Amino acid sequence: MIPSNGVGGMFGSLAAIAGPAMMLIIALRQGGPVRKLLKAHADAPERARKAATLGITDPPLQPLIRAGVVVREEDGRVWVDRLRARKRQWRIAAIIGASVMLIAAVVALLLSL
C-alpha cells in the first residue's frame, strides 16, 4: 500500500473517525430498550409492560436481562431496575472515557516523537 501524504490522506483519516462516530450518534439517538421502558414508566414490577407492546424485540433484551438491568416477570412483562441501569451506564461511560483518554495519550506521545 502506498502511503498518502496529502489531502487524500487527511480525508481518509477523517473518514476513519467520522464513520464510526456517526454510527454511534445514530445508535444513541434511536434509544434502546431501557430508554423505551423508562419512557413508558416501566420501572417497577407493578408498572411492568409487555415488550412487544412497546416495539421491543427479544434479542436486544437478553443481555440486559442477564445483567439484571431489565427484569422479566413470570407473565412475560418486563421492567427496568433503575439502580442497576444507572450503575451500568456509569460503568460503560467510565470504560469509554478511559479508552478515549488512552487513545489521546497514545496520539500525543506519537506526535511528540
| CA 79 – CA 51 distance, rounded (Å) | 9
| CA 89 – CA 95 distance, rounded (Å) | 10
Summarize pLDDT for 66-104 with one digit per residue, the tens: 999 999 999 999 999 999 999 998 998 899 899 989 998
* pLDDT over threshold 60, residue 6: no
* pLDDT over threshold 80, residue 13: no
Concatenate the DSSP letters of all residues of 16-83 into one string. HHHHHHHHHHHHHHH--HHHHHHHTT--SGGG-EEGGGGT--HHHHHHHHHHTSEEE-TTSEEEE-HH
